[in-house]
Structure 1
Amino acid sequence: MYSMEKSCQNIALVNFVEQYITARAILREALKATGRVYLSHREDDHFFQLPHQAQQVVVDGILNWSNTILEFVAQGGDHKNTKNLVRYYLSRMSLIAPLGFIDEIQNGDIVEIYGDDSKRLFFNPELFDYSSYAPDVMFSQQWWDLYHRDGAVSLKIHEYAIDMFVGRITAPFKPDLPICDVKETKSKGLYTSRIEMKCMSPVKVGEKVVGVACLEKLTLLSGELLGHTHSLS
């Protein structure tokens, strides 16, 4: 009985590894479509230390992101047109964000959408230019576990998110947050960026809030050239 159970676990592990390899290959194509390249020599990949359920979340996250980018570009979309890309993602996933949020988006802005578990569901490709994290990390860990910033700012962001999920905040708004510096805590590059939170908004499926969208302006302050993505231009 033990050997059969162990054998099933090994088969499941092999299956997840194969899925992950496939997802990374598709991710490379998506990055290439945006003028970026995935640097596979990095060694901060923690996928294989995750439990199987978390591994599936990572694979699904990478595939959803990559396929969104590839489909958008294949249909003639300009990946630098952040507003149209976000519209496409929301439509593809049957999500709703208020027009008041969409209208605020400008090219060069960073848009991140987080689920109710505080993990990323989506971001526009430009975020890779400010990050030295591996994609599996970006899709599998809560935002507060990836970056260091002023504790009062993090607490306020968390409170805003709760207010949106419970319905106290129902429309896009400019959060009362100072421009602050954020530093990666677990990456090889340990990039530091300055972030301005321009707008936040609930994201819904029907009438249910399932996520939070953040519109940000980032400025890279420091970081070694160790990131996963470099511009091909």
Structure 2
Amino acid sequence: MRISELSQKSGLPVATIKFYLREGLLPPGKRTARNQADYGDDHLSRLYLITTLTVVGRLPLSAVREIVTALDDRGTQLDGLCRVINKALVPLDREEEAGSIGTTARYQVDTFVDGLNWNVEPGAPGRSTLTQVLTALRLLGWDDDVDVFVPYQQAAARIASREVDTIPVDADEDEAALMLVARTVLFEVAWCTLRGMAHEHIIAARAGKARKTDDAS
């Protein structure tokens, strides 16, 4: 198909598609003339993926670029792809700047993560993010211990296991990689959304219960 047809089927402007081509997010089409090229279903699928990651997944184009580069790298295994996705979802990998509080928090987070016996690299950005969360809690005046993460870790283990189990065992490498990317990013949004809705429901329910108690008295 020509780029105009690709635009029509994908719902994206031609200018946007050309931008993705220039940025390497979309592979070039098959050249048919000096200023013309043909595009196939793979290009359409890639455009759907980019749109999904940016619109629903809320990822910046820089993160999407890292993900599609890893997808195009035939040598990237699924565990390596997971690290790329996690870096895109949790980009806070800078050094903590909170003095002794941050240093103590980093030690406790590393001890906590290492104690899980999960295959998490020492320099994984998630460690820095958890450190920043724990440090921020303490700077706000709450004396939370690293065990505050335990229920989140337990829920994360169950959810991640369920997500990985939904990838068919007979899926080829490309299909498995695409499913891993899409499900990880989309269910991250779903998890945050449902958690927010649960907060709203529980707080409202407790407020309603409190009002009933006041009315009864």
Between Structure 1 and Structure 2, whose CA radius of gyration is higher? 2
Greater relative contact order structure (CA < 8 Å, 6+ sep): 1
Tell me the TM-score normalised to structure 2 length. 0.29
Greater share of strand: 1
Higher fraction of helix: 2
